[in-house]
RNA sequence: GGCCCCGUCGUCUAGAGGCCUAGGACAAUACCCUUUCAAGGUAUGGACCGGGGUUCGAAUCCCCGCGGGGUCACCA
């Protein structure tokens, strides 16, 4: 039997990082067994802004490379692909109704004419008695054919009849054995009472079960908050005569000890805002994006993370391969992921560790690919044009090579490329002051400019030798020249190798920039 | 409140009765390397929620506390 897993996001307008972690486990499980990963949109509400709410979610999965075998099309307009269409719950209500009618006819479900006031009172009563309220509806014991007639005449919530005194047990693939007595399970609602248009919409629990059966889902992997729903859902599977899938409930992702939520997650820091601005974003553009937040996948894409780093980190949060492996490629994950090594306790999101993992993955990206992936960031910042001439490409390649491990995020390219590529260099006042507060610095630079002028070769190695000889002849260390020179030719006190910088700039530009400082 | 789940360094985790004077990683700190910044190297500090059992022996099993979370909807 092929493994079929599914992830069912609600259309919220952004892809939640915690949701991705759960989806990742589903996806990895399917990949591991050569199975299928299904995406279903749980949009039982009105789907007016569907595209707007669904597209960011699909985009997020596509960017991460977590492709789905069946589900909504990329258009996000409500169309689907795959053998069990449609994959939008909002379009599947007739299917839920048909399943419910079957249960009604079989006497497994019944209409409940209890008024909300009555229910309210019963609930209140139970609360005072410090007992759980287990709802059982009015027409439980009415014969099936009569209930069918009654229901046709007067719609009401349709409830599943739960047989009391039984045990529902299952073995959760991550939590282990779980057992519940049916005496504590209320008769669950299948279909709601009619809305203003007379439509009886399925309730989440029922829609999920009907869909999971229809889609042939073999492994239901979802967040732990659904653990308590499971016995109820098992009863529905049984009533529907379906075989049970394997359930696996995974713990949540926390942020500083609390469930990760948009509200409790910090806004962009000043540094991050500066970074986005350097990348060509305007204040309005930044403010207009409420998904530029560590909780949303879009943030990581926009600031230049690698999808494989996100996947590695997220998977590692709540799962381990062994006692020490931290760095894992997606391929390794696909080959080794198992539900039984998912942790029991919730895990806290740690931005620093993610950043470290990102750096590790970045080390493996070949220069040519880095160039390609940095280009969009440079273009957005208008540092390079829409088309790239071969000279610029070559310079860019040199910059990226010289930057080495310093480029952690693709957006970091701006910090290294701007001082080289921008004609009018931005001078950091603090660095400038520090570099030239000793008047001897300018004199030294003036002499060094003459040395540079007569340099025969202008490659990094020659410049290294030449410069060291120069400072040695002065009885100085390189440090005496390093900062003034760097600030003079780049405007900043930080950057990659000094000699690489000179070499990439070339003799003319280097001398020219030196001259502007010295005059 | 009932029911359910969870509790190992600051954080992510390893740990299925002796391999545990509890291992790894991130973070922190110090030093080394060095051309600033990274990267790299070395080192240091840092945890079994508490209390009782069971056992020759418990982070691991049992009980009781404590703490955190989930769930009890015509939300998903």
Residue A313 Rama label (left phi>0; alpha psi -120 to 50; beta): alpha
Q: Is the pLDDT of residue A126 over 90?
A: no
* List of A residues 419-458 with CB within 7 A of strand B: none
A259 touches strand B (CB under 7 A): yes
Tokens of A244: 């049970």
Answer for A136: CB within 7 Å of strand B: no
Q: Which nucleotide is nearest to A42 (CA to C1')?
A: B76
Q: What pLDDT, on a 0 to 100 scale, did the predictor assign at position A50?
A: 78
Checking if the pLDDT of A44 tops 80, the result is no
The residues pairing with A423 across neighbouring beta strands, listed in sequence order, are: none
The residue with greater pLDDT, A469 or A131, is: A469
**CA-CA-CA-CA torsion sign (A373, A378, A384, A386):** positive
pLDDT at position A129 is 83
Task: Note the helical H segments in A38-133.
Answer: 50-64, 93-105, 116-128
Distance A166 CA to B18 C1' (A): 43
A87 close to A38: Cβ distance less than 8 angstroms: yes
What pLDDT score does A302 carry?
97
Nucleotide at minimal C1' distance from the A8 CA: B76
Predicted pLDDT at A499? 97
CA torsion A61-A32-A356-A394 (nearest 10°) is -70
pLDDT of A45-78, one tens digit each?
655 567 889 999 999 999 999 999 999 999 999 9
Rounded Cα gap, residues A490 and A396, in angstroms: 16
Distance (Å, whole) CA A429 – CA A275: 19
A433-CA/B58-C1' distance, Å: 64
Geometric angle at alpha carbon A355, from A351 and A357, rounded to 5°: 120
Chain-centre distance for alpha carbon A13: 13
Tokens of A328: 């894992």
pLDDT, mean over chain A: 94
A13 C-beta less than 7 Å away from strand B: no
Protein residue minimizing CA–C1' distance to B75: A204
Cβ of A264: how many Cβ atoms within 10 Å? Answer: 13
CA dihedral A392, A395, A397, A400 (to 10 degrees): -120
Residue-wise pLDDT for A288-305, tens only, equals 998 999 999 999 999 999
CB atoms within 10 A of CB A1: 7
Q: What is the greatest pairwise CA distance in chain A?
A: 107
Positions in chain B where some atom is under 7 Å from a protein CB? 1-8, 10-15, 23-27, 35-39, 68-76
Number of H helices, E strands in chain A: 21, 14
pLDDT, tens digit, 9 for 90 and up, residues A164-223: 999 999 999 999 999 999 999 999 999 999 999 999 999 999 999 999 999 999 999 999
Please tell me the least confidently modeled range out of A46-60, A347-361, A362-376, A493-507: A46-60
Q: Assess contact for A19 and A218: CB atoms under 8 A.
A: no
Average pLDDT, integer, range A269-274:
92
**Is 80 exceeded by the pLDDT of residue A471?**
yes
Q: Which of residues 148-187 of A touch strand B (CB under 7 A)?
A: 156-157, 175-176, 178, 180, 184, 186
Question: Does residue A257 reach within 7 angstroms of strand B, measured from its CB?
Answer: yes
| Confidence at residue A46, expressed as pLDDT on a 0 to 100 scale | 58
**Pair A196, A226: CB distance under 8 Å:** no
């Amino acid at each position: 039997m092929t493994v079929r897993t599914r992830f069912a996001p609600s259309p919220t307008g952004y892809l939640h990082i915690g949701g991705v972690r759960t989806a990742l486990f589903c996806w990895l499980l399917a990949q591991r067994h050569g199975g299928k990963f299904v995406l279903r949109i749980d949009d039982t509400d009105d789907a007016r802004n569907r595209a707007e709410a669904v597209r960011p979610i699909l985009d997020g999965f596509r960017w991460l490379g977590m492709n789905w075998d069946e589900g909504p099309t990329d258009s996000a307009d409500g169309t689907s692909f795959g053998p069990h269409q449609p994959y939008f719950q909002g379009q599947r209500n007739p299917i839920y109704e048909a399943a419910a009618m079957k249960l009604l006819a079989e006497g497994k479900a019944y209409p409940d004419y209890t008024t909300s006031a009555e229910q309210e009172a019963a609930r209140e009563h139970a609360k005072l008695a410090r007992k759980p309220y287990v709802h059982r509806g009015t027409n439980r014991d009415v014969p099936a054919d009569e209930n069918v007639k009654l229901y046709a005449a007067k719609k009401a919530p349709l409830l599943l009849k739960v047989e009391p005194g039984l045990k529902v047990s299952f073995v959760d693939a991550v939590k282990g054995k779980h057992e519940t007595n049916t005496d504590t399970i209320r008769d669950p609602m299948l279909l709601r009472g009619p809305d203003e248009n007379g439509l009886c919409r399925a309730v989440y629990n029922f829609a999920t079960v009907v869909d999971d059966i229809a889609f042939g889902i073999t492994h239901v992997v979802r967040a732990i908050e659904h653990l308590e729903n499971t016995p109820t859902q098992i009863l529905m599977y049984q009533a529907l005569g379906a075989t049970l899938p394997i359930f696996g409930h995974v713990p949540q992702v926390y942020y500083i000890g609390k469930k990760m939520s948009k509200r409790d997650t910090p806004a962009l820091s000043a540094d991050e805002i500066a970074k986005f601005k350097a990348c060509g974003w305007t204040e309005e553009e930044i403010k207009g994006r409420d998904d530029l937040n560590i909780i949303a996948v879009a943030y990581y894409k926009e600031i230049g993370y690698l999808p494989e780093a996100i996947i590695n980190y997220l998977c590692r949060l709540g799962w381990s391969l062994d006692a020490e492996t931290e760095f894992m490629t997606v391929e390794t994950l696909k080959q080794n992921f198992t539900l039984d090594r998912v942790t029991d306790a919730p895990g806290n999101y740690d931005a620093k560790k993610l950043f470290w993992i990102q750096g590790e993955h970045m080390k493996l990206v070949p220069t040519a690919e880095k160039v390609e992936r940095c280009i969009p960031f440079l273009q957005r910042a208008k540092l390079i044009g829409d088309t790239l001439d071969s000279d610029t490409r070559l310079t860019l390649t040199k910059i990226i090579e010289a930057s080495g491990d310093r480029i952690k995020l693709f957006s970091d390219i701006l910090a290294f490329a701007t001082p080289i590529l921008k004609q009018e260099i931005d001078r950091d006042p603090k660095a400038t002051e520090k570099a030239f507060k000793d008047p001897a610095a300018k004199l030294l630079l003036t002499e060094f400019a003459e040395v540079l002028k007569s340099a025969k070769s202008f490659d990094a190695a020659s410049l290294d030798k030449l410069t060291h000889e120069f400072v040695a002849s002065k009885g100085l260390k390189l440090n005496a020249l390093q900062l003034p020179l760097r600030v003079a030719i780049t405007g900043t006190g930080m950057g990659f190798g000094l000699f690489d910088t000179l070499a990439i700039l070339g003799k003319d530009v280097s001398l020219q920039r030196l001259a502007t400082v010295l005059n």
